[in-house]
Structures are given as C-alpha cells and as structure tokens.
Amino acid sequence: MRPSVLSAITLTATSVSAAPAGPEAVLSTLGHIDSTLQASKYSHATLVDERAGRYEFDCSGMAAWVLGRSSPVAQAAVAHRAKRGRPLARDYYHQIARSMAGRERHGWERVSRVADATPGDVIAWLKPKEIRSPNTGHVAFLLAPPEPVADAPYVYLVRIADASRHRHQDDSRAGTGRTGFGRGTILVVASPETGAPVGYGWVGLRSAWVLSTQMAIGRPIR
C-alpha cells in the first residue's frame, strides 16, 4: 500500500483504539444484527436502519458493514484493494489470500487450515467457473469452529452468517420469506496436503454438488 493509505489506516486504528476489535467484535456486531433484525433483503445497494431493524445488503455489503464497525483496519485494507467502488467478494478473497499466516498485516491474519478456523473469522471464495452469475464469489463469517464430518476425511461442516438469496442447511431464513442476513451451515473441503479450503457445498450435507474454487480464511485482528 502507498504510505498515505497506510497513514490513513493507522489513523483509523488510533481513533478506534479504545473500542474492542477483532473476532470478538465481529461476533458482537453479528449478534447486534440478530437481536435487532426486523426486516432483511438481499440487495447490491446497502441500506441499514438499525433503529427499525432493517438490513439490506449483499454478502460483500454485509462484510463491509460488519467489519467497518468491528475491525476497521482490516476493512480499510480491503477497501483500498478494491480501488474504485465498494469492495466485492473477490476483494475479500484476494486480501485474505495475500495476508500472512500466523502474523497480522494490515489488520488481517490468514488462517492456513480449515481446522484452525474459529468464530469471527472470515471465509471468502471466488466464483467457480460452473456458476453463471454476475457476482464475483462469496464472503461470510464463521459462527462456530468447523466440525469434521464423520467418515469423510478433510470435510467440515461450517456454521456461518452471511447475506444471500439462497439458503444453506439449517438456515435461519427458512420459513420467514426473508433474503439477506441469515445463519446457515455449509460444507467446506480441505486439501489433504495442506488443510487449506479448496471446495464448498452450499447446503451442507444436503449439497447436491461440491464445487472446487480458490478459497481463503482470514482473521480480522483490528
């Protein structure tokens, strides 16, 4: 990043230094959405009215809103990577993938192995070639540690919070008529060699297929 951008990020971090940040703050922010939620809609334009409990955004809009309040340095790094316009799912993926494993840089620490992910971490991936969509991929927040699937080595069930039109396994949006913010379970496949995420199933154990793509898990630190 250019020195001027780094200075801006440092200034942002200083201004919020008294406030908690990182995975715990991410979970607190998600909990605030959950506790105030009255209406939600999947939308590429972000519109949030906390008093009315109204949350309209897509996955990257939700990530920007949550991280902007819980880990502003991490969000500033993604915003810089996007350069023009608001960050998209691919920007979260690239920021995390290029972060350092086990060491914080620009507010992010990459989690190399699916098994090491913890609540409050961010998972992002690029759109697989099989998917026809104008979206660039997907980004979501982990709500619980990945759960290994019995008799399926390197396969995990992962409980997430995201914004989507489409439901996951055991989805909180089911029966509500809502799109947008919700909680559900996906399937994540890890590489046998490295333990890194390499594929996902959208509907957990009920997924009709598992798609391979570039994926990354990151921990927002500040």
Tell me the pLDDT tens digit for each residue of 36-57.
999 999 999 999 999 999 999 9
Mean pLDDT calculated for residue range 160-164: 98
Residue 222 has pLDDT above 80, yes or no: yes
Residue 69 has pLDDT above 70, yes or no: yes
The mean predicted confidence, pLDDT, of the chain is 91
Contact by Cβ (8 Å): 56, 40: yes
Residue 6 has pLDDT above 50, yes or no: no
> How many C-alpha atoms does 169 have within 13 Å on its Cβ side?
16
pLDDT at 18: 41
Mean pLDDT calculated for residue range 69-86: 93
pLDDT band at residue 19 using 50, 70 and 90 as cut-offs: low
- In angstroms, rounded to a whole number, what is the distance separating the alpha carbons of residues 212 and 214? 7
